[in-house]
Structure 1
């Protein structure tokens, strides 16, 4: 997903940066508000950012001039909503470009739009749909994480298709080719990321239940269901 430095035409790179900027600014405001109103959330915010940094730094180079890897943005989107991840994800991408040469500065806007904006929103929508349909908690988390990953690569394919249209099929033909190349590695990576997300949230349900209740990730019903096995029955003779 990390489009390399200088890989996009300058005009397109500037356009993607302009499109992403309002979301990132809005996200920065959301993060400041969250920290001001709930200082105790700093640890969980940091954990969400670190999770995204670590997972998205595990890259598999592809022939597209980009790379395939988990994204980790679904976790933060479920916890704090997508605007927060627009900011955190962009900060992650900036540090990766500067410290790891993973992605680039000129392509930061395009990478932020796909991974920090579209990915979290797609995962969050799936998460909300799972709650409305009363799907099991773990099922909702799995699909939220997996879809956040896959949607990121769909957008990246569109970005690359626009930048490098196919000689015969044009932009659409190019997008289809890029999607085909990414699908080989990205579908299994999305499945793995979904499973990792389930494991992470199962731990959080035990160690950070009050915070998850405050954030609305857990409801009273899901909290009671998860606590039920721990209850002991006392028989009185």
Structure 2
């Protein structure tokens, strides 16, 4: 199997990134929007998110030190997360439905690295596109860049141990990471805005029920797209066929 080279990855990856970037993306929606969470919860999620950023940054440094050629793949994964998660559909008030794009990074580098790549994508979207926000970046980071990827990684590991077809394993990883991101978001909103009768879990279930109307088909589409991208990367020997 040939090793990834900067020239090969750039030649193939940049056209994909440009093609995705020019797709129309509605700007009327966001992750959990700026100022939507009460200050206590916004700060709490930031405190929880920061240790994962530190862990991810350390792993990022280790990957780059071991093989500098991985910088291009890391950049490609970050761009994939940024572009896909910027394609949004209105959903629950104060939030939205969107792909997450984290499946490819999970498969290539593991789930810990996604805390940094996803955090960077969320930061740029908050600053440049008014998607999400700085106060809610901790909450959005925990759902899209930590817990969603963690579940996607566990699904990837189990799928491989069961010797499922590679395309099926890739699909399940991306699908699970996407969908669980919104299970976490629903719980975050339920914590901040509990239902007067059914409490936190009742509110979370209601939020998740609304999200699922748009998020399930989005997660399916993201799963298939990730399979296509992964397949093209392996066919061009940019990544090993076995993945992470």
**TM-score normalised by structure 1 residue count:** 0.88
- The correspondence of residues 1-237 of structure 1 with structure 2, limited to 5 A, is 2-209=31-238, 211-212=239-240, 217=243
Query: Following TM superposition, by how much is the alpha carbon of 1:207 offset from its aligned partner in structure 2, in angstroms?
Result: 1.6
Query: Following TM superposition, by how much is the alpha carbon of 1:45 offset from its aligned partner in structure 2, in angstroms?
Result: 0.5
Once residues 37 and 234 of structure 2 are traced to their aligned partners in structure 1, the CA distance between those partners, rounded to angstroms, is 42
Once residues 24 and 137 of structure 1 are traced to their aligned partners in structure 2, the CA distance between those partners, rounded to angstroms, is 29
Higher Rg: 1
Deviations 1:167-222 (A, max 9, x none): 1111111001101100000000000000001100110111235x426xx517xxxx
Runs of 4 or more consecutive aligned structure 1 residues displaced over 2 Å after TM superposition: none
Q: Tell me: higher relative CO, structure 1 or 2? Use CA pairs within 8 A at least 6 residues apart.
A: 2
Once residues 198 and 237 of structure 2 are traced to their aligned partners in structure 1, the CA distance between those partners, rounded to angstroms, is 51
Q: Which structure 1 residue ranges, 5 or more long, are not aligned? A: 219-237
Q: Which structure 2 residue ranges, 5 or more long, are not aligned? A: 1-29
Where 1:58 maps in the other structure, the secondary structure is: coil
Once residues 161 and 183 of structure 2 are traced to their aligned partners in structure 1, the CA distance between those partners, rounded to angstroms, is 26
Contact 1:79 1:212 in 2 (8 A): no
Once residues 207 and 117 of structure 1 are traced to their aligned partners in structure 2, the CA distance between those partners, rounded to angstroms, is 30
Normalized per residue, the structure richer in helix is 1
**TM-score normalised by structure 2 residue count:** 0.86
- Counterpart in 1 of 2:15? none
Greater CA deviation, 12-21 or 59-68?
A: 59-68
Query: Following TM superposition, by how much is the alpha carbon of 1:63 offset from its aligned partner in structure 2, in angstroms?
Result: 3.2
- Counterpart in 2 of 1:222? none
State how many pairs are aligned.
Answer: 215
Once residues 183 and 51 of structure 1 are traced to their aligned partners in structure 2, the CA distance between those partners, rounded to angstroms, is 23
Once residues 227 and 240 of structure 2 are traced to their aligned partners in structure 1, the CA distance between those partners, rounded to angstroms, is 14
